[in-house]
Amino acid sequence: MTENIKTTLRDSAAIRWMVLMFLAFAMFCSYIFMDILSPIKDLMQSTRGWDSTAFGTMQGSETFLNVFVFFLIFAGIILDKMGVRFTAVLSGLVMLIGATINWYAVTDSFIGSGLETWFNNNLNYIPGFDELGISPFYLGMPASAKFAAVGFMVFGCGCEMAGITVSRGIVKWFKGREMALAMGSEMALARLGVATCMIFSPVFARLGGDIDVSRSVAFGVVLLMIALIMFIVYFFMDKKLDAQTGEAEEKDDPFKVSDLGKILSSSGFWLVALLCVLYYSAIFPFQKYAVNMLQCNLTFTEVDPESFWAGTAVTVIQYVIMLIVAAASFASNFSKRKEMKYGLLVVAVAALVVFCYMGYMRQSAETVFAVFPILAVGITPILGNYVDHKGKAASMLVLGSVLLIACHLTFAFVLPMLKGSGVGGIMISYLTILVLGASFSLVPASLWPSVPKLVDAKIIGSAYALIFWIQNIGLWLFPMLIGKVLDSTNPQLVSDLRNGVITPEQAAVSYDYTAPLVMLACLGVAALVLGFILKAVDKKKGLGLEEPNIK
């Protein structure tokens, strides 16, 4: 028996981390598609007629089925009953189907088709949902946005199913080991998808000087095909692990609906879930508007189309430099020799400076915001390793809330004052975006590894599903809310656009983002309050959130 334990796949650090890389790359691809339209919001308005309300409604639709049809709850039940392998492959397939629908909705082939006519004439009023104000469609919403929303709903089901499945898979392979480090590393690497999306999505949309937003979405669809392959590879590795250990999670301790009561009765669970929804609602919806926010608050000068900085080669070079920053900073966490560790950090910092300089020279908001996840890649493993060995997960969540508030208020009040100051505005933007990304890295490193301390092992999948479901309420609401707040707080701009005083291109980069940013900062304030409450509850009930994972 002892010999079997020593020779299982998960007892090999190399195999264990290889499995993590497969899961992380699959999530990397899903993160790219999640925000594939975010850096080209202005193009969606100018080429497809999507105003901020239409854009926000479509983006918020990603979580509609998860929230209001309770698909995420069913996904948790499927995960607990069918196991990680089956659910992983299913989630990859569902994401791919939804992404393909989304792609067709923004192609030229959709324009003038029977589907466009049908969507123009239907889904303008949905009984019940319209009265409650939660409909994913509305009268006057462009047909392409409606159909894209349908695809995004399907994609969202697969994406959130993949999220809880990957979390459960990491628990299975890393429990009792470096679990927080693994979760933090997976999320940090996956978030490179945000930078990848910001850098390449506009390039594909403008390729050859001909604007076609469907090319960007097609890029995401191809990557989701690769993600499905990654999940299939994971399927066979996980199956071999179960054969070695004799585990059969889908058969032992089968899921019971009554188990949900055990989860919902935990005050610690509710605090963690609410913290999660506040954090994610202040970040993910913001990502969808961040590029446009920078376009509206920074002064960019047009780059000579014949220059190096306007070419496609610079895109590839900048992306390679980003990978150097990520790889060097990430690897520094695992280097045991001080000389190597600090050498890698010097390389990472130098490459980061070059990356930021190139973003400045390219004079585009999307290349500025691409820096968002880079610092997180370097510090998330540090935070995860700290939680594994020292604890203090709840304290880290409090720190993250403070940073979140500071960043959104900086965007709201400091950045507009620097409009017209090219260098100053971009420097403040870079600094604030890096700190915001770093603050968000506190969530996967400290919050997700805390869930196994709050619920029984056999219902971890359902616990993650419930947290994701609660989180999805915010991810559905706030993209729509930001869009509606933008239109309502910029009435003159909307009026001028409708009356033809300004063009859609001019309107797309002229919004005042102060109100939405203050709203997001308020989410950070609420998260800060809950963080202090969580610390108090943890101390009173001994939940172990401030204790290390490895003892």
d(CA 459, CA 457): 6
d(CA 146, CA 135): 11
Each residue's pLDDT, cut to its tens digit, for the chain (551 residues) gives 444 445 777 777 788 889 999 999 999 999 999 989 989 988 898 888 898 889 988 988 888 888 888 887 787 778 777 888 899 999 999 999 999 999 999 999 999 999 999 999 998 888 877 776 778 888 889 999 999 999 999 999 999 889 888 888 888 888 777 776 777 778 777 888 888 998 899 989 988 778 899 999 999 999 999 999 999 999 998 888 877 776 654 443 455 556 667 677 777 778 888 888 888 889 888 988 999 999 999 988 888 888 888 888 898 999 999 989 888 887 887 777 888 888 988 998 999 999 999 999 998 888 899 888 887 777 777 776 777 677 677 778 888 889 999 999 999 999 999 887 778 899 999 999 999 988 877 766 677 677 777 776 666 767 777 787 888 888 888 988 998 899 899 999 888 888 888 888 888 888 999 999 999 999 999 989 988 888 888 788 777 776 776 66
Burial-class residue 503 by CB neighbours within 10 Å (0-12, 13-18, 19+): exposed
Cα(first)–Cα(last) distance of the chain, in Å? 24
Say what the pLDDT of residue 379 is. Answer: 76
Say what the pLDDT of residue 240 is. Answer: 86
* Sign of the four-CA dihedral 360, 286, 399, 385: negative
Q: What is the pTM of this model?
A: 0.80
Question: Which of 80, 152, 479, 2 has its CA nearest to residue 283?
Answer: 479
d(CA 65, CA 95): 13
d(CA 475, CA 288): 11
The residues, ordered by sequence, that sit 6+ positions from 51 with a Cβ below 8 Å of its Cβ are 45, 483, 487, 494, 497
Contact predicate 213/105, CB 8 Å = no
Q: H-type helices in 298-421, by residue range? A: 313-332, 338-362, 365-369, 374-389, 393-409
3-state secondary structure at position 549: coil
d(CA 281, CA 482): 11
Q: b or e along 72-96 (b: 16 or more beta carbons within 10 Å of the residue's beta carbon)?
A: bbbbbbbbbbebbbbbbbbbbebbb
- Reading the block at residue 274, the tokens are 């609410």
In order, the DSSP letters of 317-329 are HHHHHHHHHHHHH
Q: H-type helices in 410-502, by residue range? A: 422-440, 442, 460-488, 491-498
- Number of neighbours of residue 114 by Cβ within 10 angstroms: 7
Dihedrals φ, ψ of 274, to 5°?
-70, -35
Say what the pLDDT of residue 23 is. Answer: 92
d(CA 78, CA 85): 11
Contact predicate 534/271, CB 8 Å = yes
Burial-class residue 98 by CB neighbours within 10 Å (0-12, 13-18, 19+): buried
Give 360's DSSP letter. Answer: H
d(CA 141, CA 281): 24
- Reading the block at residue 473, the tokens are 């309420």
Contact predicate 161/72, CB 8 Å = yes
- Reading the block at residue 87, the tokens are 């659910």
d(CA 539, CA 551): 19
SS3 track for 122-167: CCCCCCCHHHHCCCCCCCCCCHHHHHHHHHHHHHHHHHHHHHHHHH
d(CA 264, CA 269): 7
* Sign of the four-CA dihedral 114, 116, 119, 121: negative
- Reading the block at residue 177, the tokens are 């080991």
d(CA 367, CA 358): 8
- Reading the block at residue 256, the tokens are 């019971």
Dihedrals φ, ψ of 236, to 5°?
-75, -35
Dihedrals φ, ψ of 312, to 5°?
-80, -25
In order, the DSSP letters of 193-234 are HHHHHHHHHHHHHTGGG---HHHHHHHHHHHHHHHHHHHHHH
Say what the pLDDT of residue 2 is. Answer: 45
Tokens 């946005």 appear where?
Answer: 145
